[in-house]
Amino acid sequence: MAQQLAGYTTFKYFLVTSVGPAVAHVEINRPAKLNAFLEAMWLELGQIFRQLSTDPEVRVVVLSGAGNRAFTAGLDVQAASQDSPLAPGRQDAVSDVGRKATLLRRHIQEFQDCITAVEKCEKPVICVANGISIGLAIDILCCADIRVCSRDTKFSVKEVDIGMAADIGTLSRLPKVVGSSSWVKDVCLSARYFGPAEALAVGFVSQVHDSKAAALDAAFKLAELISSKSPIAVQGTKELLNHAQDHPVDESLRYTGVWNSAALQSADFQVALLSGIQKKKPVFEKL
């Protein structure tokens, strides 16, 4: 039985529960609006993942959307048109183009930083998509370490359909997540929908399940397995894999050497080695 995680009970738009030893489940909790994001929601998301990043009680995070209709339908466009720097009234209040641009840049940067908090979380993040998963959903999914989905998932990089280029991370991350530049430009320029089979074929997701419940169950089991490993080793592996995405092999090897020159001095290394010899399950301290 999932229980609310201590220290995460004050959030309005997210449920944060404990679903197993050292596994946190974060649910986007606005199902009546297809989990579409208001500004308050992305601010909460950033706060939650920054807190989870250093929470010693958590080793793995599973992120999903509440309800069966959507992971998230992206940005709540109606709310954004009324209460954001993009709102007509807010634009009219500032006449100078340079000042308008500065306000918009700050707004976009804040939004980007909140979503990037998912990627920067020290703990592995497993994202479970279902139903409508468009626009901001792709930004968030690209920040996750592992992506799984249900067969009813409908993906779309939707931004060109609302007259803009995606600016919260998809255009920067999606080309690194999948191996085909042609496919990335196909879906980003057209805003067309694509399904789980296509997402699996290009490597956007690594698992497809018959239902959201099955996808969540698989994510929780994987999270439990990862959480049983040394947190020093797991967090180091995530850090080194992310570093390798953006650096040449020689730089990555050098960084790995520097990282492990410290990490290998951890007691976890000896505990893991002895567990294999002694044929017993290792137990690692909190980090």
Instruction: Please report, for the domain that includes residue 166, its CATH number.
Output: 3.90.226.10
- Domain harbouring 258, CATH code: 1.10.12.10
Same domain, 114 and 85: yes
**Residue 91: what pLDDT?**
62
Is residue 287 a part of any domain in this protein?
A: no
Same domain, 169 and 204: yes
Is residue 185 a part of any domain in this protein?
A: yes
Same domain, 258 and 183: no
Is residue 256 a part of any domain in this protein?
A: yes
Mean pLDDT, each 10-residue run in order, the chain (287 residues): 90 96 97 97 98 98 98 90 67 81 93 98 98 98 98 98 95 96 98 98 98 98 97 98 96 98 95 86 93
Same domain, 33 and 85: yes
**Residue 81: what pLDDT?**
73
Same domain, 88 and 31: yes
Same domain, 130 and 256: no
Same domain, 65 and 106: yes
The count of domains in the chain is: 2
**Residue 78: what pLDDT?**
84
Same domain, 210 and 245: no
* CB-based burial, 89-111: b 16+ in 10 Å, e otherwise: ebeeeeeeeeebeeebeeeeeeb
Same domain, 177 and 254: no
Same domain, 191 and 69: yes
**Residue 171: what pLDDT?**
98
Is residue 283 a part of any domain in this protein?
A: no
Is residue 286 a part of any domain in this protein?
A: no
**Residue 31: what pLDDT?**
97
Contacts of 133 (CB under 8 A, 6+ apart): 70, 71, 72, 141, 149, 153, 154, 155, 156
Is residue 79 a part of any domain in this protein?
A: yes
Q: How many Å apart are CA 189 and CA 45, to the nearest integer?
A: 28
Show which of 191, 212, 227 is a domain's final residue. 227
**What would the 3-class secondary structure string for the chain be?**
CCEECCCCCCCCCEEEEEEECCEEEEEECCHHHCCCECHHHHHHHHHHHHHHHCCCCCCEEEEEECCCCEEECCECHHHHHHCCCCCHHHHHCCCCHHHHHHHHHHHHHHHHHHHHHHHHCCCCEEEEECEEEECHHHHHHHHCCEEEEECCCEEECCHHHHCCCCCCCHHHHHHHHCCCHHHHHHHHHHCCCECHHHHHHHCCCCEEECCHHHHHHHHHHHHHHHHCCCHHHHHHHHHHHHHHHCCCHHHHHHHHHHHHHHHCCCHHHHHHHHHHHHCCCCCCCCC
**Residue 246: what pLDDT?**
92
Contact 17, 53 (CB under 8 A): no
Is residue 269 a part of any domain in this protein?
A: yes
What is the domain range of residue 272? 231-278
Same domain, 264 and 207: no
Show which of 210, 227, 244 is a domain's final residue. 227
Same domain, 257 and 144: no
Is residue 241 a part of any domain in this protein?
A: yes
